[in-house]
Structure 1
Amino acid sequence: MKFYEITYIIEDEQQERLSALAERYEKVNGWNEKEILQFAVAATSKEEMESKLQFLEKEIVKMEKDWQEQEEKPKEKRKYISDEEYEKCKRVVSAYEKELDEIEVTVVDAGRFGFVKLIYYKFPYGFDDAIAYTDSLELFLDLWDEWFEAQLLALTKNTPMAELDYEDIFKCLSKDTQEELMAKREYFAEKAGIGAR
């Protein structure tokens, strides 16, 4: 039991009650010991101290009941993606599914966290990078970039053009090849149910 100095000499029985109350309040994240003492320190008589103790005892019963109810409630897990975006992201992944496998990019359904793109796999260590998505358009555009850049690299492999940046590589391609690549973007957008931008 802790001992507290109040403005009058507190009796042992009240001292015990005050000490027990401080522990109970702290347990339910209510008042801390200092706050309880500040409330009790103004007592100038046994009767006033008794009145304050009765108030604290009455309040702690309510707080403990509320605290117990909160503890018994099943904890709700936070969702990071809306149901609508979840379905849209699923369509985006489905639209790119075959092509992603060819360029060694994997997108996994992470449930309430959204979708996660895993890239740069190194056996036996796993993936070097993981990026989470909760927005279908952002996912679509990122997967488009992955696929598009892989195509440009494949088209220029073992040529001096491979040293250029992606924009310059694209400009160097024939008009037909450029149109073919951009038509593929429209194809993915339509398949994913997203208006290409």
Structure 2
Amino acid sequence: MESQDVITYTQKIVKVIDDEKTAKVIQDENLFPVLKYLQKGPMTIMDLVSIFKKSGEEKSDKTIYRYLHTLIKVKLVAKAGKRIISITEDELKSETLYMRTAKAFIFPEALKHDKDMEKGFCPVFDATRLLLKPVLDGKTLDSDCFQKFLFKIDQERDDLLVELFKNIEDSSIQEINELNWRELDYCLNYSSWAAIAAKLNLKKELAKCK
């Protein structure tokens, strides 16, 4: 059987999530994998059923439909078009395609209010503190201060990315739009770190946690 995807939805490059409800949906352990798989491009429900099965987390088509319905309600996913399938020369069928509303989501409010997530990251914070000792005269940073520093930096990076996209030229938008989701992730990370480095003296900020 031959098939052709007809896309009618225009995906954004970046979408800023500025409400707590949507941020919680992104972090939901059942819904997040759907967003992750859709990074690869538009998919049908059966595409997603197949991917979940291969990952060892089998889900029914009804469950996937329910997940997609929730994601559509908060505008993280949209119906992207149709996959037209040729069964015979005279018989066609179509399946709905689903797509993320943006290649990347920025949700600056999410981490600030999720205390469980903050606790879950503690081993990462502790390991990072130890790794940084050589560049801080062999001193270990205060745990609470360092954790607050990292969350502050994450917030600053998100805010700077929003500002960068507000001031970007149309020609640059077109070039960025050509990036796939993985390339865009690199672009956003590099851009936000370069912007924060230009704005703050990071070593001086870190020294406050000695």
Which has more radius of gyration? 1
Structure in which a larger fraction of residues adopt strand: 2
By relative contact order (CA 8 Å, sep 6+), the higher-ranking structure is 2
- Same fold at TM > 0.5: no
Task: Please report the TM-score for the alignment, with normalisation by the length of structure 1.
Answer: 0.24
Structure in which a larger fraction of residues adopt helix: 1
